[in-house]
Amino acid sequence: MKKIFLFVFSYIPVFANDISIEHNDGIYHITLKGEKIKKRIKFVASEDLITNREAHIKSKATLTLNAGFFDPKNGKTISYIVTDRMIAEDPMFNDSLLQSSFFRKNMNKVLNRSEFRIIQCGNKYQYDIVSHNSKVPFGCTLETSAQGGPLILPELKMEEEGFVIKNEEGNVIRESASVLHKTSRTIIGLKGTDECHILIITDDNPMDMYEVQALCKKLELERAMAFDGGSSTSMNYKKGIEVISIKGDGAGRMLKSFMLVY
């Protein structure tokens, strides 16, 4: 099992006006509260793969974490990313994905995986976790989003989103993103209309997706989904907290897309 380096230069818990971070039992629980912070969240993608630390420094964000799935071999996305109302990354432009027999058989499942959205409706911004093909409410605009999966709450959708494939006898013949095994995770969820919760589950307390669902229920989240996890699990907060997997010189895995909070 891989290890996680935790670089902590500030005390835990951390409380800001609208960002709080608690660290217990190998899990960072980040809460984003209030209306104003919704305008300061942006999902972005890098042309080339870069570390979470590089994205954090380059963007000058307060909080940076890994977002959607990608192909580490060609550096192209497997998840839709919307930045400033424009599609920044589209998996249909990933040639390797299109050549995959698994993808061709399960295209509708993969392309319609869950995504986290920031939507503007009039003068207000709102969170949402829905399948990719879900329509934006009438009169509203999709500002930014990142696709991941699977959906965790209100129900776990591993088979519906192509993370688990079973044969006619009901036996698992394919598993993606280690959803049935214990590993580190990046999870995002919602409670009410003004609370966004992020869980950085490190290898100090790895979980399979059933255990993640139980944790989300314990925290009374109403909707929740996963971003990319395992060795991709990464988080930087200001200059004080960093969570990365060991890779090369310890700088962390090279990634494609990120959630930035300013």
Among 12-26, 72-86, 125-139, 230-244, where is mean pLDDT lowest?
12-26
For residue 252, the model assigns a pLDDT of 83
Per-residue pLDDT at 13 exceeds 80: no
pLDDT band at 175 (very low <50, low <70, confident <90, very high): very high
pLDDT band at 245 (very low <50, low <70, confident <90, very high): confident
- Would you state the structure tokens that stand for residue 86, as one six-digit string? 């424009």
- Would you state the structure tokens that stand for residue 26, as one six-digit string? 């190998």
Residue 65 · residue 258 · CB < 8 Å: yes
Report the distance separating Cα 243 and Cα 235, nearest Å: 5
**CA dist 68 to 7, 62, 244, Å?**
23, 19, 16
Q: Tens digit of pLDDT for each residue in 143-171?
A: 999 999 999 999 999 999 999 999 999 99
Centre a 10 Å sphere on the Cβ of residue 80 and count the other Cβ atoms it contains: 23
Q: Tens digit of pLDDT for each residue in 72-104?
A: 999 999 999 999 999 999 999 999 999 999 999
For residue 26, the model assigns a pLDDT of 95
Residue 132 · residue 147 · CB < 8 Å: yes
Q: What is the model's pTM?
A: 0.92
Centre a 10 Å sphere on the Cβ of residue 118 and count the other Cβ atoms it contains: 22
Residue 117 · residue 128 · CB < 8 Å: yes
- Would you state the structure tokens that stand for residue 208, as one six-digit string? 């399979």
For residue 246, the model assigns a pLDDT of 65
Q: Tens digit of pLDDT for each residue in 119-141?
A: 999 999 999 999 999 999 999 99
Among 57-61, 176-180, 195-199, 251-255, where is mean pLDDT lowest?
251-255
For residue 7, the model assigns a pLDDT of 41
User: Per DSSP, what are the bridge partners of residue 223?
Assistant: 190
